[in-house]
Amino acid sequence: MFPDKIKITDDLIKLIVDKRKEYNLTAYQLSEKIGKNKSWLPNIENKRTKNVSREDLYLLFNAFAEKEDLRPEQYIVK
């Protein structure tokens, strides 16, 4: 299982950006879609945020994971 706070790495940013673009979403749109402030995801993608909570990471990947019939943590590890 993942720790409560997850360090944001270049690989994680790449995964987020690639998936977001695959679903034709801007960083602002995806932030608002999961109930966050519109600058939340751009701050992550631009390395202004160093860590993200496990719950927020689950929220971020939940919709993508559901489309591939996976749990969010499986999706992130995949």
Supply the pLDDT for residue 76. 63
pTM: 0.81
pLDDT, position 68 = 74
DSSP string, 51-75: EEEHHHHHHHHHHHHHHTT--HHHH
With CA atoms as reference, report the closest residue to 25 among 6, 12, 38, 8: 38
Query: What pLDDT tens digit does each residue of the chain (78 aa) get?
Result: 556 888 999 998 998 999 899 989 999 999 998 999 999 999 999 999 999 998 898 888 887 777 777 777 765 665
Give the pLDDT confidence score for residue 39 in this predicted structure: 95
Residue 7 is given by DSSP the state E
